[in-house]
Amino acid sequence: MHNLGVLLSGRGSNFLAIADALSSGTIPDTQIAVVISNLADAPGLTAARNRGLNATAIEARGRKRAEHDAEIITTLQAHKVDLVCLAGYMRLLSPGFIQAFPQRILNIHPSLLPAFLGLDAQTQAFEYGVQIAGCTVHFVDEQLDHGPIILQRAIPVLPTDDAHTLAARILEQEHIAYSEAIARVLSGNYEVLGRRYVPKTGDD
Active site residues: 109
**Separation CA 200–CA 153 (nearest Å):** 21
Which of 6, 8, 33, 48 binds ligand GAR (CB under 6 A)? It is 8
Question: H helices of the chain, where?
Answer: 13-23, 43-50, 65-78, 95-100, 121-128, 163-187
Could you tell me which stretch among 8-16, 54-62, 152-160, 183-191 binds ligand GAR (CB under 6 A)?
8-16
Could you tell me which stretch among 12-20, 46-54, 76-84, 187-195 binds ligand GAR (CB under 6 A)?
12-20
141 forms part of the interface with ligand GAR (CB under 6 A) = no
Residues 167 and 122: beta-carbon distance below 8 Å? yes
35 forms part of the interface with ligand GAR (CB under 6 A) = no
153 forms part of the interface with ligand GAR (CB under 6 A) = no
What residues does 192 pair with on adjacent strands? 197
87 forms part of the interface with ligand GAR (CB under 6 A) = yes
Closest among 137, 141, 200, 123 to 173, alpha carbons compared = 137
Phi-psi region of 197 (alpha: psi -120 to 50; beta: other; left: phi over 0): beta
Which of 33, 108, 150, 157 binds ligand GAR (CB under 6 A)? It is 108
Which of 3, 10, 46, 91 binds ligand GAR (CB under 6 A)? It is 10
37 forms part of the interface with ligand GAR (CB under 6 A) = no
**Separation CA 187–CA 177 (nearest Å):** 15
Which of 4, 5, 88, 153 binds ligand GAR (CB under 6 A)? It is 88
**Separation CA 4–CA 35 (nearest Å):** 9
Q: Which residues contact ligand GAR by CB under 6 A?
A: 8, 10-14, 44, 87-88, 108-110, 121, 145, 171, 174
